[in-house]
Amino acid sequence: MKKQIFLAIGILTLSSLACSFTVNLPSVDTIPEKTVSINESVPSGIEDVVLRLDIGAAEVEINSGAKNLVNGTVTYNVAGWEPVVEWDGDELTIKQETQGIKGLPSTKVTNQWNLQMGGATPTSLVINAGAYSGEMELGGLSLNSLKIEDGASTNKVSFSSPNLIPMERFSYNTGASTITLKGLANANFKEMEFSGGAGSYELDFNGKLQSDAEVNIEAGVSTIKIIIPEGTSAEIKVNGEMKNVNTTGTWTVNGSRYSTEGSGPKVKINVNMNLGSLDLVRK
C-alpha cells in the first residue's frame, strides 16, 4: 500500500514539474547570403593531385568539363561557413566547418556547392560530407581513385562518359541513404567497395567495361538493385542469409551464384547482406 502511495506522489510531482518546466532551444542566426568563387589550377611541376572536398549539410552539384582542376561557387548564409581553400604540396583541400553550429535554424539555411572539375592531371578525389543532397557527373575526368564518405544523404553519381585513365579504386561508404550510381562501367575501376546501412541503393553498370573489375558490397537491412546491361559478362555471388533475391532478364543461377554471358571483360560482384531485398536486373 505504501509503495502505491509513494508511486502516486512521484507521478504527481513529475507532472507538476512538467507543467512548470520550459526548454529554451538555441537557434542558428543567419546572415545575408554570400557567394565565394573557387578557381584552382594544378601548380606547375605536379604530375598527380589529390582533391579533398569536406562538405557539411548542403546541396551539392558537381560536373565535369572545367578547363581548370576545379572551379565554381559556394553560397551560404550562416556565419563561419565560408569555405577554406588550401594547397599542401600536391593536395588541394576545400573545406567547410559546420560542426560548431548547434541548435535550430531561425530561418531557411542556405548551403549550396556548385563545382566543375576538369583537366588532364590524374586526380585522387576524396569527398567527405554530412547529411546532404547531391548530384555528381564525373564522366570524362582523369580520376585514378575516388572515395566518397557521407552520412544520411540522397546522392546520384554518374559517369556518362569513360574515365580517361584506369581507376585503381572506387570506394563509397554511406549511412541510411538513397544512393544511385550510374554508368559504373565507364568509371574504369579495377576494384570497388560499397558499404551502406539501412538504405536504398542502385548500382548501374552501364557504359563500356574496359577491363575486368571486382566489386564488394556490404549492406545492412536495405534494398539494393544491381543493373547489368545486355552484352556485359557478370558473376554475382550472394553471401549471408539473404533469401529475397529477385531477377529480371536472363540469368544463370547456381546456388548463390548468378551469372550473365557476354563478350569482353567481366565484372565480379560479391554481395554481403543478411536482410533486405536484392534485385538483379539484366537489360
Q: State the Cα–Cα distance between residues 129 and 73, nearest whole angstrom.
A: 17
Q: State the Cα–Cα distance between residues 77 and 100, nearest whole angstrom.
A: 15
Residue 95's nearest CA partner among 138, 146, 147, 58 is 58
What string of pLDDT tens digits covers the 283 residues of the chain?
433 433 333 433 334 433 333 334 346 788 999 999 999 999 999 999 999 999 988 999 999 999 999 999 999 999 889 999 999 999 999 999 876 555 555 568 899 999 999 978 999 999 999 889 999 999 999 999 999 999 889 999 999 999 999 999 999 999 989 999 999 999 999 999 999 998 999 999 999 999 999 999 999 889 999 999 999 999 999 998 767 899 999 999 999 999 999 989 999 999 998 889 999 999 8
Domain 35-282 listed as CATH 2.160.20: yes
Cell of 69: 582542376
What does the pLDDT read at residue 152? Answer: 87
What does the pLDDT read at residue 37? Answer: 97
* DSSP states of the chain: -HHHHHHHHHHHHHHHHHHH------EEPEEEEEEEEEEE-PPTT-SSEEEEEEE-S-EEEEEEEESSSEEEEEEEEETT---EEEEETTEEEEE---TT--SEESS---EEEEEEEE-SS-EEEEEEESS-EEEEE-TT--EEEEEEE-SS-EEEEE-SS--SS-EEEEEEE-SS-EEEEE-GGGG-EEEEEEEESSSEEEEE--S---S-EEEEEEESSEEEEEEE-TT-EEEEEEESS---EEEES--EEETTEEEE--SS-EEEEEEE-SSEEEEEEE-
- pTM, whole model, 2 decimals? 0.88
What does the pLDDT read at residue 27? Answer: 61
- How many CB atoms sit inside 10 A of residue 130's CB? 18
- Domain residue spans of the chain: 35-282
Residue 238, classified by CB atoms within 10 Å of its CB into exposed (0-12), middle (13-18) or buried (19+), is buried
Contact 154, 175 (CB under 8 A): no
Q: State the Cα–Cα distance between residues 35 and 25, nearest whole angstrom.
A: 29
